[in-house]
Structures are given as structure tokens and as C-alpha cells.
Structure 1
Amino acid sequence: MKNYRFKNLTALVCGGLFTLSVAGSAMAADTMDVNIEECVQMAMNNNRTIKQALADYDSAVWKRHEARRTSGPTLNWTSAARRVGGAAQNQADIRALYLNTVAVSMPIYTGGQLEGSIRAADLGLDASEIAIEATKQSVKAKTQAAYFNALNCRNLIKVSQDSVNTLQEHLKNVNAQYSVGTVAKTDVLASQVQLSNAQLGLVSAQNNYDVAIASLNNIIGNPVNTKLNLKDEMGYQTYDISLDDCVQYARENRPAILAADYSVKIAQEQVGIAGAGVKPKVQAEVSRTFTGKNPFGSDTNVNDFYFTQNSWYLGLGMNWNIFDNNVTQAKVNQSKAAVEKAKEAAAMARETGDLEVKTAYLNLTSAAKSIDTAKVAVDKAREDYKIAQVRYSAGVGTNLDVMDAEEKLTTAQSNYYNALYKYNSSKAELDRSMGIMVDLDVSKFKDTQK
């Protein structure tokens, strides 16, 4: 039953919460026609926050490479050139002495330090990959919210324009009645003021739309002055997944929770790495040394015996810091404290996830209820305005009744579009808070939660 619900959820996500509008007329050359999926894809390709996360992943790859290479052999060359004087010159009067040593060494046993570093680097790489997915989910939600905001602003422009058109027609009616003496001058003045206010509202709505488009361009990586023709219309589709299922899905798939679990594992590895400070270190080494009065060579002249050598060395070396005045123990205790901190952070990540999911879900359901109510209010407000107009034209209603009805109609229309916007943006936020996948299957990372 649980898998069926998640499949249903995936279908709902893929289906979207909006309907595509019929393609409009040809746009100017500097205008880009985009739908919401195209905007999300552009954000995935261009957003700088995602690029920073990718750079962090590359850094984690090389950090793991560093950890693994540390356990392998290293080649070292030591060279020195010296002048010799005094009694040590001997009969050969040697004044130049060269020393060259080539050594290959490899750690055999480090008390778990290298092994712990490799495991921590592997975990860090996985955590970095999860961080990329978390960033993409956040950018996707931010892009969707910006797109829906632009759609809402476009709808509110239409509401403001309709209000201006309606009041202009009403003003014509008032002027006609005033010219024949059936209404007072105050009706004309009041209607003119109402129209001016509506025109100011239209200017503000247009400005809000321009700002919304600029913000959307910034998120998807376009120049902020790019003109966008949004091909979608905000719609409404019932969300059938329960809150409990949403919370459970988030606990299993939310990247922030998975990343927090990895932080605990990494901190636990650091305890072992710190504890290796008081354990013996064993390494194998082979070296070849050339010493003489000629660079990279040996002189077999007996008189130069004390100044010419050609030797090699092969063996094992051990270093054991038996007592370090409890410095290592202090580091171990610090690492253990870091583990407890990571565990608390992981618990907080789960609690934060639960809260964000519930908040987005409640906002979603609240907006869904508001949509139906607001739609009914629009129909009633439109009918009320028509009645007020007829009554005013017949001389049995007042100008105030008409303007009040028109204002209520504008408010009802705005409330309806705002409810649609809240629903769609809340759905985008719910997807993010749940950890709905963008392009990373997080199932391979879930074993860290056990």
C-alpha cells in the first residue's frame, strides 16, 4: 500500500499543477517563450549555487583521492652539495662532497589512521553528492515559486486592467447622466477618483510583474532584462497524498536528513583517526645513497675512501608515541563531542523536516479550500456589480453602490488568483521539503540511517 501511494505521488508530481495555454502570437526577437519545465532546466544548467555545489563535489573527489594515495608508496630524493676543508681533506685534497639519497617508503600499519581517513573521505564524497541533490531541489522549488509569482502578477495585471476598463465605462455612463441632469457633480468626481486609483493600481501591478520577471531571469541564469513570455497558466489539481505519507517520505528521502546521517558517520571515523595518535606506526623503506666528490657517482680511489660511499638500505621502521601527555586523548574527547553534536544535528534535521513538510502541507490544504471559496465569491461579486450598474442606470441605485460593488469584484478576483498562487507555490515547497527527486536516486545512501 505504501509503495502504491508513493507511485501515486510521483505521478502527481510529474503531472504538474498547471495547464499549458495555447501558443500566443509571434513575439518580438528579444522575447523568450518558456514554460515552467524549461525554466527549471535552465536553472539546473545555469544557477551559480548549483555550480558551487558541483565544485564542492569535485573537491571531495580529490580529497578522497588524497586519502587513498596516502596509503601507497612514495618516492623521495634528497640531495646535497658541500665544500670540505680542514683536516678532513686527507691527502687527496678533496674540496667537494656530494650526497644523493633515493628512498621509497610505504606505510604498513598506522593504527587505523589511514583506513579511517579513507572511510571518512568516502563518506564525505557521498555527502557531497547528496548536497548537490539538495541544492538542485532547492533551486527547483525557488524557480517554480518565482515562475508562479510571475504568473500571479500577470493575472493581477489583468484584474487591474479589467478594473480600469470597467470604471472607464462607468464614468462614461455617469457623465452621460450628469449631462442630462439626472445625477450630481459629486458622482462624476467620485467616479474619476475611483478610476485614478484603479490606474495607479495597474501601474503598480505592471511594476510587480516586471520585478517578478527579473527575479525569475536571475534564478534561471538569464540577463535580468530578458523578456519572458510565460506559456503556462496556473491551475488547480487536487492533492490526494496524506500528511503522514508525506512526512514518512521525507524521513526516508529528504537530502538534509541523509546528509546529517553522513555527518554522524564522518564524525565517528574522526574518533578512530584521533585515537591512532598513541598507536605504533610501521613503514617499509628501501633507499640507495651515493656520496662522493662527483655528483651521482663514486670514486674508487683508495685515498678518497672516507669521502666516497655507495650504499643501500632495506628494512622496516617503527615509530611509537608511547606517552604524549594525554594530547591524543584530548583529541579523542573532542572527536567524541563532535559525534554527539552531529547526532543532535541529525535529530534536528528530522524535526525540521517534519515541521517544513507539515507547514507546506497545511498551507497547501488551506489554499485549496480558499480556491473554491474565492471562485464562488468572484461569481457573486460579478453578479452584484451587474445589479448595481442596472440599478444606477435606472435611477434607483447610487454611484457609491456601483463603486463599492466594483471594488469588491476586484478584491474577489485578486483573492482567487492569490489562492491559486499560494496553492501552487505551496506544492513546490512541499516537494522540496519532502525531498522529491530531481536527478539523484537517494536509495543507495539510505543505509547510513540504520
Structure 2
Amino acid sequence: MKCLNFGIIAGLNAAIALQFGIYPVQAQSPPPVPSAPLPTLQPSVQPKTSVVEAPATPSAADLTPNPNRLQLPTETNQVEVQKTVAITLKQAIETAQRNSLTLQVAQAQLRRSQAALREAEAALYPTFSFQASLSRDLSASGDIAVQATERQTRQQITQGEAALRGLLASPSPTDPLSAFLQRNSLLQTQAQLAQGQASLDALKNYGTTSFNGSFLLEYALYTGGQRPALIQVFAEQVRQNQLEVERILEQLQLDITNAYYDVQSANEQVRIETAAVTEATRSLDNTEALSKNGLATRLDVLNTQVQLDNASQQLVVAQTQQQVSRRRLSRLLNSSATITVTAAEPVKLAEPWTLSLEESIVQALKKRVELQQQLAQRNISINQRKAAEAALRPLVGVFANYNVLALGNDAPGEAVSRGWGDGYSVGMRVQWKLYDGGAARARAAQETENIAIAETRFAETGQQIRLDVEQSYFNLQSNLKNVQTATASLNRAKEALRAARVRFGAGVGLQNDVLDAESRLTQAEGNLVQATLGYNRALAALKRAVSWVESSPNGQG
């Protein structure tokens, strides 16, 4: 019996040894807390449903998404998880910053607003344009006129021919004067017929070819303040989109950090539940051995078996939560569809926060981009109001136009219009909308209300930021106290289980005492993990609340 007791105690000490330091809590600046990782308990017995994974070191391809964003998987092997890779928190944040679709959308919106600003700034320069046309014209009405003239000419020719035949058929007069007049009429008729035939042959609908080119230079001298106001609107929009990228980066870091802590929590819960199964299995073996020697009852064996069944069920639940948390982290990282990401770092207490509550609040109010975004929105509304008011002011512009015309005509003759010509025009334009029914003033009134809305939201955002800082700060302090309490509780739970096993092995204790002690040990381990991760989460939230900048010289925002 003594050998059995010694084996139980030795196995217990080897299975549940944990080390956590206890540190005093300070209101302003907590002292550095050792970041020793929680040691992993290797279970001696696992349920048949558990899968032992060996996380691999990730390659660049594992953390790179499909470059074709429009391609969806169509085969099962394209979505089947083939490998589990372990990454650090730093690697997770860097991967998310590369792969985040939300961040990529914000960056695209920033580039779009920058292009819109360049478009607005183009109004500061004159516009220079060229316009040209080349045409070939053959008039349909001209063709109809030609046909009408042709019919008239043919009729005249026919009449002339009849007159000529009449002259030729008439007898020649004996009187010299009459003979002269007859011969003269004959010659005139023949000439008219020849001229009519020549006109008929030359009658045609001629086409016209023309080339017209013009250069136009325009510039707005005065826009009533509309042009600089619109440029400032787009400049503030660029600023707002830049702040949005910063906000998404900070929020992305917090989201990834929390998701990473979720994976750590799930991993630790699996470890704790696996250790509980191991201890419950060992207790069942010991109870059955004692029952065979008449030192334990059948009820003790059944209670121990129920304890093992409960621990096995909790392990299955923990393993499911582990899979879900890993997939959630993989989705946030937008990694390859065939890998699952897990945490490579063990749970450890993060660094202490060295700023007081008041200093943290002031730091947050100085640096939170949400406040600056409201100021940018206010500036946008101010300049949009200026642009609206400018609609009732005169617009003054100058212009210069140079025109070139080339004309070609198929008709013969020197008198036909053809050749090259050029000309120019310069001037000034003034446009003044004297009355628009009150539309401009109405638009200005809308922007005035938008200014008031932005100022109200600025004050509201400032109050919310202070609340976020206070909530995170109080959670940080309370979780640090919980870590100290949970560490002491874990040590007591280990000692209580050791004593319960010794008493039961010596026959002076009950098996229920051992089962209760095992349950309290499992709960104490879970409490310590949750308190540690609670502190880490509160610290991450506090960093987000004050726009923590990791690259700053003192390590804080």
C-alpha cells in the first residue's frame, strides 16, 4: 500500500507541476511580470476522438492567399485542411497587415481619393484642346437640281434640233438679204445646239472635301472661391482616408491579438482537459485496484468512472473550440485555404502598463485617429459650404481659339471656292447666376448642419474614448489581481489533491474527496489561464484605446 501511495503522489507531481509568480499590485505602475510560459502537460491517455497534431513551421506560401480574388474553390481538395502551422503573435499581425481584405479596400479608397484630389487640382491650370473634322459632301438636293437642269437642257436641245431641221428644209431665198438672214439663223441655231450639248455633257453634281481644325485655350480666372474650396474638400478626404487606414491597422492588430489569445486559450483548455482525463484515468485504475483488494467500494469505482466520462466530454468540447478558434484566426489572416493556423507561443503574462489612468486618457485623446477623422469631416463640410456659396458669385474666364479650314471642290473652273484659310478669336467670358431659387443657400445651410454634427460627434467620440481607456485600465488591474489569486489557488489545489490521494490510499479518506480535489485543480488551472489571458486582452484593448505605436522609442504610443 505504501508503494502504491508513493506512485500516485509521484505521478501527480510529474503531471500537474505548474509555476506562476505572485506579484503585488500597484495603482499606477505595476512592476515587470515574468513572462515564463505555461508548461504543457503531456497526457498519458487521450480519447479516441482526439487527433494529435504536430504544427509545422509556416512557409511563405502557407500565409499567402490566392492572388485571384474572383476564383472560388470547386474541388474538395482545394478546401481540405492539409497542414497545421504554428506562428507567433508578431507573425500573425504582420501576416494580417499583408493579407487583410478590409485593409486593402481602405488602401484602395485612399488611392482613389488621392486621384480625385489630383483631378481637382487640375482646375488650377488652363485647358488646351484640339478639334478637327474631315468631311466629303455630295449634296442630294444638288443631284436633284442637276437632274432638273438636265431635263430642261435636253428639252431646249430638242427644240433647237427641230428648228434646225425646219431651216434646212426651207427653200433657199433668191434675195441676197433673205439668203444672208437664213444662213445667219442657221448658224445661230447650230451654235445654240452645240452650246446646249456641251452644257449637257458638263452637267454633274460635284462633291466637296473639307478639313476643319481648331485649337482652344481656356482658363478660369476667378471662380468665386469655388475652386480652392473644392480642392481643400478633396485634400481633407485624402486625410480622412489616411486616418481610416491607420484606424483599420490599429483595429486589425487588436482583432488579431484577441483571435490569437482565443487560440491560446483553446490550446490551454485542451491541455487542461487532457490532464483531467489523465488524472481521472489514473484515479479509476487506482480505485479499481483498491476495489479488488477490498479497500474501495463499487460506488467508488462508479463515481470515478463518471468523473472520467465527464472529463472526456469536456475534452471533446475543448477540442472543438480549439478547431473553431484556429479556423477563425486563419480566416482573419486570409491565409492559404489548405492550412490551419495555431499559436506557436505559450500563454504568458504580457508586459506591465507603465502609465497612470490619467496619463492614459490624455494620451488617447491626443492620438486617437477617430477624433482626427471628425475634425477632417468638419473641415470637409466647411469647404463644401464655401463651394456652395460660390455658386452665387460671378465666374470669369478667358479663351483663345485658332481655326484652320481647307476646302476642296470637284467642280472645274477657277471661280469655284477652294483652298486653305485660317483665323482666330480671343476673348473673355463672364457668367453670373443672379438667381437660383435659393438652391445655393440651401446647400450652404446643409453644410452648416454637417459642421455641427461633426463637432457633436467629436465630443461624443472623446467621451467614448475616455470610457474605453477607463474600462480597459480597470480590467487590466483586476485581471492582474486575479492572476495572483489564481496562482495561489492553483498551488492550494495541487496540495489538496496530493493530500486527498494520500488519505484515500491510506484508507482514511473518501474517493469523493479525491474527485472533488481533481475537479478543483482543473478549475484552478483554467482560472489561471483565463486570468492571464484576461490581463493580456485588457492590455491589448488599452493599447488600442491609446493608439499604441509599437515602434516608438519608449515602446508605447
- What's the TM-score, normalizing by structure 2? 0.69
| Local SS of the residue matching 2:326 | helix
**Is 1:248 equivalent to 2:362 in the alignment?**
yes
| Local SS of the residue matching 1:235 | coil
Distance 1:217 1:208, change over 3 A: same
Match of 2:107 among 40, 48, 54: 54
Q: Give distance in 1, aligned partners of 2:85 and 2:38.
A: 15
Give, in angstroms, the shift of residue 278 of structure 1. Answer: 0.4
Give, in angstroms, the shift of residue 279 of structure 1. Answer: 0.6
Q: Give distance in 2, aligned partners of 1:382 and 1:156.
A: 18
Show structure 1 runs of 5+ residues with no match.
Answer: 1-10, 296-300, 442-450
Distance 1:19 1:75, change over 3 A: farther
Give, in angstroms, the shift of residue 415 of structure 1. Answer: 0.8
* Residue matched to 1:68: 121
Give, in angstroms, the shift of residue 66 of structure 1. Answer: 0.6
Match of 1:148 among 261, 265, 276: 261
Q: Deviations over 1:22-62 (max 9, x none)?
A: 9xx99657453422111111111111111111111111110
* Residue matched to 1:8: none
Q: Give distance in 2, aligned partners of 1:347 and 1:108.
A: 41
**Is 1:392 equivalent to 2:445 in the alignment?**
no
* Residue matched to 1:421: 533
* Residue matched to 1:257: 371
**Alpha-carbon contact 1:36-1:147 (below 8 Å) kept:** yes
* Residue matched to 1:5: none
| Local SS of the residue matching 2:437 | coil
Q: Give distance in 2, aligned partners of 1:16 and 1:65.
A: 52
* Residue matched to 1:178: 291
Give, in angstroms, the shift of residue 237 of structure 1. Answer: 3.6
Give, in angstroms, the shift of residue 290 of structure 1. Answer: 3.5
Distance 1:438 1:319, change over 3 A: farther
Task: Indicate the structure with greater helix content.
Answer: 1
Match of 1:112 among 198, 204, 225: 225
Distance 1:309 1:134, change over 3 A: same
Give, in angstroms, the shift of residue 84 of structure 1. Answer: 8.3
Structure 1 residue identity aligned to 2:473: Y
**Alpha-carbon contact 2:276-2:522 (below 8 Å) kept:** yes
CA RMSD of aligned residues (A): 3.0
Identical pairs, percent:
22
| Local SS of the residue matching 2:400 | strand
Q: Which region of structure 1 is more displaced relative to structure 2, 394-403 or 51-60?
A: 394-403
Structure 1 residue identity aligned to 2:452: E
Q: 1:123-162 maps to which residues of 2 (within 5 A)?
A: 123-162=236-275
Q: Which region of structure 1 is more displaced relative to structure 2, 150-159 or 278-287?
A: 150-159
Give, in angstroms, the shift of residue 95 of structure 1. Answer: 5.5
Structure 2 residue identity aligned to 1:406: E
* Residue matched to 1:376: 488
**Alpha-carbon contact 2:329-2:341 (below 8 Å) kept:** no
* Residue matched to 1:34: 87
Q: Give distance in 2, aligned partners of 1:274 and 1:18.
A: 60
Q: Give distance in 1, aligned partners of 2:526 and 2:348.
A: 14
- What's the TM-score, normalizing by structure 1? 0.85
Q: Give distance in 1, aligned partners of 2:320 and 2:439.
A: 63
Equivalent pairs, count = 418
Q: Give distance in 2, aligned partners of 1:314 and 1:226.
A: 71
| Local SS of the residue matching 1:234 | coil
Q: Which region of structure 1 is more displaced relative to structure 2, 28-37 or 405-414?
A: 28-37
Distance 1:240 1:162, change over 3 A: same
**Is 1:219 equivalent to 2:272 in the alignment?**
no
Show structure 2 runs of 5+ residues with no match.
Answer: 1-28, 40-52, 58-82, 146-204
Give, in angstroms, the shift of residue 103 of structure 1. Answer: 1.0
* Residue matched to 2:471: 359
Q: Which region of structure 1 is more displaced relative to structure 2, 75-84 or 29-38?
A: 75-84
* Residue matched to 2:448: 336
* Residue matched to 2:301: 188
Give, in angstroms, the shift of residue 216 of structure 1. Answer: 1.6
Q: Deviations over 1:414-447 (max 9, x none)?
A: 1110011111011111111211136799xxxxxx
| Local SS of the residue matching 1:285 | strand
Distance 1:250 1:28, change over 3 A: closer
Match of 1:238 among 349, 352, 358: 352
Structure 1 residue identity aligned to 2:380: I
Q: Give distance in 1, aligned partners of 2:516 and 2:36.
A: 33
Give, in angstroms, the shift of residue 293 of structure 1. Answer: 3.5
| Local SS of the residue matching 2:484 | helix
Give, in angstroms, the shift of residue 17 of structure 1. Answer: 8.9
**Alpha-carbon contact 2:213-2:404 (below 8 Å) kept:** yes
Q: Give distance in 2, aligned partners of 1:107 and 1:259.
A: 33
Give, in angstroms, the shift of residue 289 of structure 1. Answer: 2.5
Give, in angstroms, the shift of residue 123 of structure 1. Answer: 1.6
Structure 2 residue identity aligned to 1:412: A
Q: Give distance in 1, aligned partners of 2:35 and 2:442.
A: 58
Q: Which region of structure 1 is more displaced relative to structure 2, 72-81 or 60-69?
A: 72-81
Q: 1:82-101 maps to which residues of 2 (within 5 A)?
A: 99-101=212-214
Q: Deviations over 1:128-159 (max 9, x none)?
A: 11111111111111111111221121111221
* Residue matched to 1:317: 429
Q: Give distance in 2, aligned partners of 1:172 and 1:363.
A: 43
* Residue matched to 1:448: none
Give, in angstroms, the shift of residue 191 of structure 1. Answer: 0.6
